[in-house]
Amino acid sequence: MPLGYVIRSHSNIYYVLVDGQEVECRPRGKFRLDQTQVRAGDHVEVRLEADGEGRIDKVLPRRNCLERPPVANVDQCLVVFTLAEPEADYPFLDRVLIHVEQAGVAPLILLNKIDLVEQEAVDAFVRTYRDQVGYPVLPISAREGWGLDALLPHLVGKISVLAGHSGVGKSQLIRALEPRRQDVRVGEVSAKSRKGRHTTRHVELIPLSSGGLLADAPGFTYLEFQDIEKWNLRDYFPEIVRHQAACRYSDCLHRAEPDCGVRAALQAGEIPESRYESYLLFLAEIESKKRW
């Protein structure tokens, strides 16, 4: 039975890439009874009909699954971020990185719109998130085409999903990578709020000419920490993990405990202050929602 990738859906119709061809499919009736959800990125077994359409007979086990956006079997998340238009929102970036890692997906930060800021600001961001924290960072300008040649090798043979605030240039990046996709709308930043307007309404996996699939998905809005306890939030901050062995107490929350190795590293400039502030913000948020 042919295998394929679900690349998008509309109502109860799924579009599956089978041997390079897009096939319109409907799921088996029992999926509704079994409450089986079919998502973009799912590997599925397809029964091809004589009229050229198909039926999804089986959804294969997933390697991982993001909830927002709802995409399965993701190899990496391209976290698009800007320092201007819209202005930098570091807590939001840190929040997205935690959710991506929690889902078992490798993050790649794309610092977009570098044509709008000074090189010193770009270098400072790279020093913080690549050198101090440890995330891979690629400075790019989708509008000017800067840095895209360095990005292409990261996309070949992978399912990548775009994440980031509306207005950071996700749709523009897709059009820069795939100029033939004129149906991808490019939004503008609101002059009043300085935030972007959503231009994408559903999840779609776009086959790239250079190889790989890229998920164009609705912009992230607010992500809650549903399944993270206060005791393991620290595990999603790589720079904290590297220093917490120096803490006196193994259950140290790095807030006010004595002989805290993390706070000592912070004072020494080895942990970015903005990241530590995000950690405290998220810790308070988690505690406010739990009863211990």
Which of 121-125, 163-167, 204-208, 222-226 holds the top average pLDDT?
Answer: 121-125
Q: Which tokens sit at 265?
A: 């590293």
Domain boundaries, the chain: 3-59, 65-216, 233-289
CATH 2.70.50.60 assigned to 65-216:
no
Q: Where are the beta strands (DSSP E) in 49-122?
A: 54-59, 65-66, 71-72, 76-82, 106-112
Tell me the average pLDDT across 71-91.
95
Do 186 and 199 meet the contact criterion of CB atoms below 8 Å apart?
yes
Q: What angle is formed at CA 223 by the lines to CA 161 and CA 214, rounded to 5 degrees? A: 5
**Burial of residue 209 (number of CB atoms within 10 Å: 0-12, 13-18, 19+):** exposed
Domain 3-59 is classified in which CATH homologous superfamily?
Nucleic acid-binding proteins (2.40.50.140)
Q: Choose among 166, 110, 119, 118: nearest CA to 142.
A: 110
Tell me the average pLDDT across 158-173.
91
Q: Choose among 204, 208, 104: nearest CA to 156.
A: 208
Q: Is the pLDDT of residue 132 over 80?
A: yes
Q: Which tokens sit at 22?
A: 């897009």
Q: Is the pLDDT of residue 222 over 60?
A: no
Domain 233-289 is classified in which CATH homologous superfamily?
Probable gtpase engc; domain 3 (1.10.40.50)
**pTM for this one?**
0.86
Confidence of residue 181 (pLDDT cuts 50, 70, 90): low
Cα gap 18→65, rounded to integer Å: 21
